[in-house]
Structure formats: C-alpha cells, structure tokens
Structure 1
C-alpha cells in the first residue's frame, strides 16, 4: 500500500512551503485540528499530502514524476476492479509467525497468494484517529476507494515501516479483542479487501490488504474502541497490521470510506448517519472531513451511479464539459461512454479519450500565445511558465441531475516544475475518474442514504 504524506518540495499544487522558521506559527494558525462532534456530525481536520503541517511526512526529495507514477498505478487498479476478467498474476505468498519475547511460541497465520490491489499513493489526504482505551491518536490516510481501516500494530512480528509516533499496542488497551474466524466480519473481508480471509492456528481471523504497487498489509482482524476527540465508538472492526511492506510514508495506516460493511462510514452510520463530506485543501491550508449530518441546501446534486462490477466504489455520470463557457466539441454520449468513479486518492482526473482530446485542444486554444512544453510523465498538454502567470482558465464539468463543478485555473493546471505547467487531466480507454485536483477547495458530500453526491464551491473557507 502506498500511504505517503507531508512536505514535498515539488507539491501537488506546487505551492512553496513556508520557510522553516515560520512553520510552527503557520501550523498553529491551522489548528482546527481537534476532532469534535456536534449536532451536525463528527468533524475532523484534513491535511494535504504535501502540507508542512501534515502529521505524516512525505520524503522531501520525492520527485513529482514519482507522484504521477503512483497515481497511474492507482488509476490502473481502479480500472482493473471493473474488468470482467482480471488475469493479473497473484502476489507472492505471505506468512506471519508470532514469536513471544524470549520464547518459541509460533502462531502461523497464513500462507496464501495475494491478488493485486490498489495503489494508495501520495495523493491521499491525512487526518487523526484515536484507538484503544485509553485512546492514542494516529495519523491516518483517508481513502474513499478502500473499505477496511487498518494500522500498524506492535509487536509487528514480521515488518513495520517507520511511522510518525508510536505503533498501536493492543496489549495497552483494555477494550481490545481479536476476531474469531467464525465471525461474520471475517467473511466480509473478501468484499472489503478483494482478498480471502485466512485463519490462524489459534482461530484468529487474518486480513490481507494488497495494493497495485506491490505494497500490502497483513494482520489480525480486531475490535476496539475508536475515538475522535471526546467522541468514542466501541466495537469498531479494523485490521491490526503485523506485516506492512511498501511505500507507506510515515502514516500509521488507512481509513476506509468505501461502501462496504467494514468501512468506517458503515460502522459509524448507526450513530452518525450514512453520509460524509469533505473539503480537500491545497498544501497551504487545511480542510475537513465530516461524518454525519450536513447542510443539504448548499449543494448541487448528482445521483450516485452504480456498477455491478464493484458495489463499494462511488460512481457518477459526467454529462458535459466546457472551456471558457463554450461546450467541448464532442457528442453527449462520449461523456458516459465509460464508467466514472469519483475518488479522493487519485490526483489526476481521467477522461474518455475523445473527451480528453477535445479538452486538450480547447485549453491550448484558450491559452493563446503560451508556448507549448514537452509532455511530462502522463501529462501531455503542457506549457512553458507557471499556471498563476498564464491568465485565467475556466473549465466547467457538468453531471447528471444538474450538479456542476466550475473549475478555476488552480483546479485545471498543475505546475510540474519551476518552468512548466500542465493540464491536470489524462486520457483513458477503460475507467474515467474524477480526481482530487479537480475537487480541491470544493465541499463534496457523499449522501449514501439518499444515493447522491453534492458539490459546493468555497468548502475549505
């Protein structure tokens, strides 16, 4: 799994971070970071992956080409989940062996092939989650494309990556319990992780979460009290990771918000309601994640579409696009020619090839005399200069039911280095994806109870 986050010199919006001497004061001004619950739901602070205030840092020398490579792996896996025939080879077998300190106690968990999974990538946003009794806070990546919440657990019998803060220690929690293989939640793991569950010799259920970049987490399905500020929810099911290998950055694990019985959303729905909303911030600010009630009047809505190929992902129907108020020169049917996922962890929006080609031509025309630059990784519509200096470029995205996103320049162009900016869209012939570059600073609500998704401008302010 690639769960990376904090401080990247080349940033997704490539906003220059504050000088080191100012970081403390900058971050102090962003402390809406205390989770709290009120009549309108549970509120958490979200951090951009490249924010200097993020609790889970990224390597400072990570090239932006690597960001795009990880993003392409994630997009490829999302597409593979919708393919009717997935012929990808299985992962190498993985096994865990638990050794008591100074002893030879051996609890062999499992040795099974892991199927390919999703690249979590550097595009995911970070928040804080409390676990155990007494509660300890952990920096977690938030992902609408994943179901199972998991984090690294002591004693970490095989492998744990370096994380910000201590590992979760189940022995220090008075409310921790493992989940037996006979539990219904163990049966749910196949749908939640796309891998079968396994069973230890001591009858403990074993989860296996694998991702498209060969990263994975394997461990015990467990139950404990999850908390956000002063609000706690007992009996929360999650993965207690004992073998966590790959590009995880310094986050402790992942929060899954997909449509599955084991997701955080589904487990908290009886207490908070079956909806969540977020505003994904730029690297220069903070955003939020709210689980529960929201103000319905502020949004324009599109129905959640569905796919029999994957019931856990969130689908929408794109119905039109425009540049500078002029519709693209493509037929209406082209927009819905592919299934379209809205995803918090994919950075670059993927469009059907014909739609992308029309968008690319229209943007190039709207840029006037801007000199073209060579393609950069998966981005092939590039210009010399920085986005902020190339004038105003407005792109509209319309969805079934009348919902719209009116994208300003910052949501359309992305600076890939000091002298080049590129269109933050890419073509696809398989699965279209509405990525987080286009969602940044908008309030987006996932009203699962009413099967609709809403958009509103100015969400992070």
Structure 2
C-alpha cells in the first residue's frame, strides 16, 4: 500500500502547484499573468445582485476597459517612473494633511494651499455616471481622498477648461439643474479653509450664487458654481438634488476625464449625501490588471441575505471632525509565506489611511524592513534588479521563467481581520514588491494595489471596514 499512497501524495502535490497555490503559503503563477491583455476582459460581475444597493462598472483609466476616447486611447500612458513620482507626492500630501502640517513648495518658500480633498494626480480608476435630465454620460475619477464632486460645465471654453473625453455638461439643457444660493445653509456649510469660494454673480439679474474652489496638491485648480442636479448610478438608482461643483475654470495637469467623484467622509461627498438611503456605506472592487473591470457600489450588503458572507471586518474611524475625509484603520501584523513577522503591534499605532488613489502601500520603517527581509528570502531564487526608484527597492528579473513562485502576503487588522492579498496582482506591481517605507512614527497608507480583486466595504454607519476576497 505504500507505493499507491506515495503516488497519491505526489499527484496531489502536483495538482496543488498546477492550480496556482498550496497550503504552505506560496502560489505558483505564470509570468504571462503579469502582463495586462490588450483587450478588455469580461468582469466577474458588477457587485452583488442586491436591490438595496446601486452599482456601476469601474475601470482603470489607462486600460482597455476605460471608455473609448479617454486617456487610455488618446494619450500616451505615463511611465511607471512617472506614476511612482505622482504616487509618492500624493502620499506625502495626504500624510501632511493628516498630520496637520502645511504643504511647502519645493524650494521651502511660500506654502501651497491645502484643502480637504487635496491630492496629487495619481488617481487610477474611473466610473461612468449620468448627470442631468435627460441624463448625460460623464466619466469621472473616483477618490476616497476627496469630498466635493465636480464636472466641467458649459460655457467653459478652451482657455478655461481642459480637453475631456465627453461633451461638456450643459446645465441649460437639463430640467433639473439648479444653482445653490449664496445665503443657503448648503453654501454656508462649505469649509472656509476647504471648498468655499464666497459669493459669485456670474449671471446678471440672478441672486448671488454659491461659488466653490479647490486647489489640489499638484497646483491644479477647479472653480465654478456649487449646484444641484440629478445623478444616475447605473440603470435604476437615482440621486436627486445631488450637490456638486459645476466647473467653469480648470487649470493644471488634468487628463481627459470629465470630473471627479468624491467618496470621502465629509458632508460634501456622495457617500454623506446619500447616507439616508445607503447608510453611509459604499464598496468597490479593483480589477487584478488594467485590462479587467470591477465595480463601485453604494450601500452595504443586506444582512437578511447571504451577501455579507465572505467579509472580514475591522473598526474604522476618521481622524477628527475637522479632517473627516480620510478613512482610518489599524494594522496589527503582517505575514509572509504563511508565517507571521515579528513586528510589535505598537509600530502600527498611528493607523493607516485606506486610499483608492494611492498606488503603493506605505508602512512604518520597522514593519517594512521585516517585510522586505522575509519577502526577499522567499524569492531568493530570482535575481534582484536595481531599485525602480527610491521607494521600490525590491524588484525582480523574471526573464526566462515561465512560472514564478510568489509567497502569500497577509495583513491583519484590529479585531483579528486577516486579508490575504491576491497573488500576484495584490503583491507585485511591475515586478516589484508593492510596499514602501513610510518612516517610523508616521501614519501608513494602504494603496490600491494591495486591494485588487478584493471588495473593500467602507461602512461609516457601522463604523467598520470590510474585505471580501475574489470579488472581481
């Protein structure tokens, strides 16, 4: 009986490797899976078929699933180095904002104004929504680090607006468009140090209108009139009297997207405005590669059905009422190849911002060094390349390899929630470990690479954040 038993063990072991994983904390993946396909692949689905939730497809803005005519097809894709520079600047900006420090210019001179929702343009994902009556399609960036949503509006001309994918939204052709009066509570509630631009009177004979202005961390600006409109999410969900910025003056390093959808935690965001319907909850699933599609969904899974199954939860909070934009969770540990790293939980005590617009995850120095050492040890058979930049220092040359054995990486949060990152898309980016050193004593940022294929559920009403693996 010994020989048949040995044969069975060998066959089962072979099957485990061939199917892409094993119980010892490693996954064997073909190197061809590291390269996005040229055509848009079919998504698993647009969220759960829950009538209490509203879902729209989500795509990488530089991938083939982005709407035709967007930057994916009309503009050269930025290099990896360019994306890393923008990503690092965005992360620095968020951490300074969270720490209450002002942004300084490169020369150390005059400060750059920082506003709620300020970001550097490394945002990656877009959704297409309908705005107005009749609805006009607009393709907008999604950002959990911004609150006030906006689109470019007519009669914006070439000197005042940047070229975009879709026709400019024309408020004069919508039966549901309205400007917000300057004296209204909605206008008065705009943060003075954030989006408020005082009163404006662009149209003769009209009462003063509520002006908005945002200057982002990269110097880009948008100004216009704070307004209300009907917003269509998918084929059935409609948000009436949605407050947004009707932009008439945009300058800076903008791409061909039509605007921005703010998903932060402040009152101006879509999440807060729809809290009476969706409970202050939303989720998204980012596709594993640029050639796939994911989804953005408003609302939490209905607890009366099985759609909550598969989620693990950890407590979530904002920094303070004055900085309500960012969503904060706390890591307690990291494992590599199924083995927990020796990292004191106190290292993560300041918390981690979960941000859809940051690409690379930044963790404290002590944690990063432990992760890097364990990951390099597990990947010792593959030659290291020179660092991609000062942040990514663990990059590999996989030339000549048909398959690569990658260790699983798992993040554990307060409450015991453990999330296995997708392999390879949630662990490697451009053949580099998708983590960076954020410095000890600093907030961390969990970037979007680590959350690929995972449905991330932000539920402010219940005060927790959930993860569901294999959602897209």
Question: So what's the TM-score if we normalise by structure 1?
Answer: 0.83
Q: 1:330 to 1:402 in 2, by over 3 A?
A: closer
User: Is the partner of 2:412 in helix, strand or coil?
Assistant: strand
Aligned to 2:215: 210
Counterparts of 1:137-216 in structure 2, within 5 Å, are 137-156=137-156, 159-190=160-191, 194-201=194-201, 203-216=208-221
**Residue correspondences, number:** 411
Q: Deviations over 1:232-277 (max 9, x none)?
A: 2221100001111223321100111111111111112222332111
Aligned to 1:260: 266
Q: 1:367 aligns with which of 373, 379, 392?
A: 379
Aligned to 2:35: 15
TM-aligned CA deviation for residue 61 of structure 1? 4.1
User: Is the partner of 2:450 in helix, strand or coil?
Assistant: helix
TM-aligned CA deviation for residue 293 of structure 1? 3.4
Q: Deviations over 1:392-423 (max 9, x none)?
A: 221110000121111223211111xxxxx211
In 1, the alpha carbon distance for the partners of 2:217 and 2:141 equals 17
In 1, the alpha carbon distance for the partners of 2:172 and 2:113 equals 28
In 1, the alpha carbon distance for the partners of 2:417 and 2:37 equals 34
In 2, the alpha carbon distance for the partners of 1:332 and 1:209 equals 37
User: Is the partner of 1:436 in helix, strand or coil?
Assistant: coil
In 1, the alpha carbon distance for the partners of 2:336 and 2:105 equals 42
CA RMSD of the aligned region, Å? 2.5
Q: Deviations over 1:332-387 (max 9, x none)?
A: 21122x33100111110000111111111111111122211111122112222269
Aligned to 1:103: none
In 1, the alpha carbon distance for the partners of 2:308 and 2:49 equals 18
Q: 1:381 aligns with which of 382, 394, 412?
A: 394
Gaps of 5+ in 1: 1-12, 91-112, 416-420
TM-aligned CA deviation for residue 312 of structure 1? 2.0
TM-aligned CA deviation for residue 30 of structure 1? 5.3
TM-aligned CA deviation for residue 129 of structure 1? 1.1
In 2, the alpha carbon distance for the partners of 1:236 and 1:195 equals 16
Q: 1:226 aligns with which of 227, 231, 242?
A: 231
Q: Deviations over 1:265-320 (max 9, x none)?
A: 11122223321111111212111111013132321100003423622210000000
> Is 1:355 matched with 2:356?
no
Structure 1 residue ranges, 4+ long, deviating more than 4 angstroms after superposition? 29-33, 35-38
User: Is the partner of 2:406 in helix, strand or coil?
Assistant: coil
Q: 1:388 to 1:224 in 2, by over 3 A?
A: farther
Aligned to 1:314: 327
Q: 2:90 aligns with which of 74, 79, 83?
A: 74
In 2, the alpha carbon distance for the partners of 1:263 and 1:147 equals 4
- Determine if contact 1:71/1:119 at 8 Å carries over to the other structure: no
Gaps of 5+ in 2: 1-32, 107-111, 202-206, 302-306
Aligned to 1:288: 295
Question: So what's the TM-score if we normalise by structure 2?
Answer: 0.81
Aligned to 1:409: 424
